[in-house]
Amino acid sequence: MKTRTRLTLLFTLVTATILLVFAAIILISAKENREKEFYALLKKEAITKANLFLNAEVDSKTLQDIYKNNRATLNEVEVAIYTPAFQLLYHDAVEIDVVKETKSMINEIARKGEIKFYQKDWQVIGMTYRFQGKEYIITAAAYDGFGYIKFYNLLETCIIVFILSILLLYVAGRFFSKKAFEPIVKMTNKAKTISATNLDLRLDTSKNKDEITELATTFNKMLNRLENSFDSQKQFVSNISHELRTPLSAIIAELELSTHKERNNNEYKMVIQNTLQDAKKLAKLSNSLLDLAKANYDPSEIAFKQLRIDEVLLDARQQVQKSNPDYNITIHFENDFEEDSQISIHGNEYLLKVAFANLFENGCKFSADQQSMVSISFLSNTIELRFSDNGIGILPEELELIFTPFYRGSNKTHADGNGIGLSLTRKIILLHKGGITVASKKNQGTTFTVTFNLQ
């Protein structure tokens, strides 16, 4: 069931329930008022006839004739007068006797002063009445035909109005729900036309600051992110293709040249060395891509534990110097620490080692003295690592771009690389809820500052 139909039915149901409650209250009130008013009428008629009879203004025969003549057309009140000793003094029609008084009934009336009840469809009232110092018991009964007709007319009117109201409410609900959902229908139709080939399309937004406009704006922002993601993916694939093609082309060219003519051992060794160097570049690129993929995992899928930062730095230095014996990496503590908790964070050892190794390599390969220095300092609840070098530096306009995957600055001619390292490092630092900033001056070196919050 569509939301529009469901809301229309829900609106109709809720409104119908409210109308039904109001109708029930009106009918119950009308029923009680009819009953109350008719009992009052019975009491008045009973007292009137009692006065006429007891004052001897009208004889019994005349009163009985009036009752019998009017009974069929006017629903005349049947009145009976008794003494407390259950002696019948007057009765409109003994042969009919709707109430059928008994001694126990007369005693109950005398005890309570007044009783009201139904005898089949007839309303009956019994009461005590004092006349000239004597007490009498009067019963009066009648069928409220006119009252019932009015009540059933009201009931019929309520039913008709209720049914018509439900139909009108449903039609109105359909109309207003159509108007309310019209912008959403337009948004849905427009969204259906958006695909990977036309991600530049956007949903129309109005000047009204309502929920529909907010939804359209949010959807457009999502499309912006999606378009950027697609563009980044295309650029990523293009960069990977380029990075893979260069060493592969070199390997193929070296091997093809070596097959064109016979060569001596030294020449073959040279070909093998060049091929091996290009193969190592491919291996390094593939490892970097795998590390980049791991850094993009959901944090819940990555194993974290308490790690000492200095131990991870030492392992990263050992790893870098094992591959590059000429690199000189120094680690320095700015201030002392008293407990392991002051130098420990919650993290993934492998990924942190990759991040630190990238910063070490970056500092060494762009420095003439191939030296990188890291200083460790503790600032209240923060660990700060500063990776410094004496290299050629980074241009100011390139500082914002160096963390972009596959981006290589104007200093790329000074050292080999694939443009993944710093992007990967930043992702790993952010994954550990840390921060990384860079400061650099041309020909004066570069400093990367990494901060971690202590757990």
Closest CA to 307 of 227, 226, 383, 413: 383
As a whole number of Å, the CA-based R_g of the chain is 50
For strand 305-308 and strand 122-131, is the pairing parallel, antiparallel, or unpaired? unpaired
Domains of the chain: 3-150 (3.30.450.20), 211-292 (1.10.287), 298-453 (3.30.565.10)
- Determine the 3-state secondary structure of 369 from DSSP: coil
Residue 383's φ and ψ, nearest 5 degrees, are -105, 130
Burial letters 336-353, b for 16+ CB under 10 A, else e: ebeeeeebbbebbeebbb
Residue 449's φ and ψ, nearest 5 degrees, are -110, 120
Contact 127, 113 (CB under 8 A): yes
Token reading at 201: 């399309």
Cα separation, 281 vs 292, in Å, equals 16
Please give the pLDDT value at position 455: 60
Please give the pLDDT value at position 139: 92
Token reading at 420: 């993944």
Closest CA to 355 of 429, 438, 301: 429
Please give the pLDDT value at position 40: 93
Q: Is the pTM of this model over 0.85?
A: no
Please give the pLDDT value at position 246: 64
Please give the DSSP secondary-structure letter assigned to residue 387. Answer: E
Please give the pLDDT value at position 150: 92
Please give the pLDDT value at position 106: 92
For strand 382-389 and strand 445-453, is the pairing parallel, antiparallel, or unpaired? antiparallel
**Residue 167 CA: distances (Å) to CA of 159, 260, 344:** 12, 92, 71
Question: Taking the CB of residue 160, how many other CB atoms lie within 10 A of it?
Answer: 10
- In tens digits, the chain (455 residues) has pLDDT values of 677 788 888 888 998 999 999 999 999 999 999 999 999 999 998 898 888 888 866 666 776 666 666 655 546 788 899 999 999 888 887 777 888 889 999 999 999 999 999 988 899 999 999 988 899 999 999 888 889 999 999 999 999 999 999 999 888 888 888 887 777 778 888 888 887 778 777 777 777 777 778 888 888 888 888 877 777 667 666 656 655 676 777 788 777 777 777 777 777 788 788 788 778 767 766 766 666 666 565 666 777 888 888 899 999 999 889 888 889 999 988 877 767 777 888 888 888 888 898 899 888 888 888 899 999 988 778 899 999 998 888 887 777 778 776 666 555 555 555 567 788 888 889 888 899 999 988 778 889 999 998 76
**Residue 406 CA: distances (Å) to CA of 212, 288, 435:** 40, 11, 21
